[in-house]
């Protein structure tokens, strides 16, 4: 189904684990440096209310004066586990795109503030780069360097799967438990 901006609380709370979505709208990249900076009280350079953060360190180059995205797959999300939930609450972040899923703390905040975790296909750098139709800006490039900067990506039909929702459900938790059971039964 289509998940279109604005990413309001209603729209986000309507999502359920296991749904495939195609995201259209503006998303902001942010990985380790950004999360640490915000966690330490740094002021966000963009308004994060009802926003989606993308855990991604893209390869972006300037061609004829324009930014062009060369590769834009997700990076491992769990590194932001200590920060993500509180930042969702503080700034009204409604969604996080990444890979590998996140833990119980983030899940709790998803439920509390009305947010979701959206799993992109790890490694699909080319397919995902094609869905970034425009780069609308970049922030903190000086401080953090290109892969760690905050890129404003206009995406169109960017594919992802809801793997943690605002109702306390986590596909990662369920698949882990089911596979552990299956292993026990194999003996």
Please report whether residue 86 would count as binding ligand SF4 according to CB under 6 A. Answer: no
Residue ranges in 115-144 that form contacts with ligand SF4 under rule CB under 6 A: 122-123
Pairing of strands 132-139, 93-98: unpaired
Nearest to 110, CA basis, from 160, 51, 41, 170: 170
35 catalytic, yes or no? yes
Q: Which is nearer to other proteins, 79 or 105 (CB)?
A: 79
Provide the H-helix boundaries in 25-113.
Answer: 32-39, 81-91, 104-113
Task: Report how many residues bind ligand SF4 under the rule CB under 6 A.
Answer: 2
Residue ranges in 93-132 that form contacts with other proteins under rule CB under 8 A: 99-101, 119, 121-127, 130
**Per-residue DSSP letters for 116-151?**
EEEE--TT-HHHHHHTEEEEEEEESHHHH-TTTSEE
Please report whether residue 61 would count as binding other proteins according to CB under 8 A. Answer: yes
Grouping H, G, I as helix, E, B as strand and the rest as coil, residue 99 is strand
> Residues interacting with other proteins, by CB under 8 A?
18, 20, 57-59, 61, 70-73, 76, 78, 99-101, 119, 121-127, 130, 159, 161, 163, 171-172, 174-176, 178-180, 182-183, 186
> Residues interacting with ligand SF4, by CB under 6 A?
122-123
């Amino acid at each position: 189904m289509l998940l279109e901006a604005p990413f309001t609380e209603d729209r986000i709370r309507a999502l359920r684990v296991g749904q495939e979505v195609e995201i259209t709208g503006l998303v902001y990249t942010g990985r380790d440096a950004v999360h640490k900076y915000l966690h330490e009280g740094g002021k966000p350079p963009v308004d994060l209310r009802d926003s989606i953060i993308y855990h991604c360190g893209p390869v972006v180059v300037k061609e004829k004066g324009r930014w062009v995205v060369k590769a834009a797959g997700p990076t491992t999300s769990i590194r932001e586990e200590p920060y993500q939930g509180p930042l969702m609450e503080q700034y009204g972040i409604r969604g996080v795109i990444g890979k590998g899923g996140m833990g119980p703390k983030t899940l709790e905040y998803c439920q509390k503030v009305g947010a979701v975790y959206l799993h992109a296909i790890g490694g699909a750098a080319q397919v995902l780069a094609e869905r970034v139709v425009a780069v609308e800006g970049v922030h903190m490039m000086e401080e953090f360097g290109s892969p760690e900067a905050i890129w404003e990506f206009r995406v169109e039909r960017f594919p992802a799967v809801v793997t943690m929702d605002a109702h306390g459900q986590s596909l990662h938790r369920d698949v882990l438990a089911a596979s552990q059971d299956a292993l026990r039964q194999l003996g």
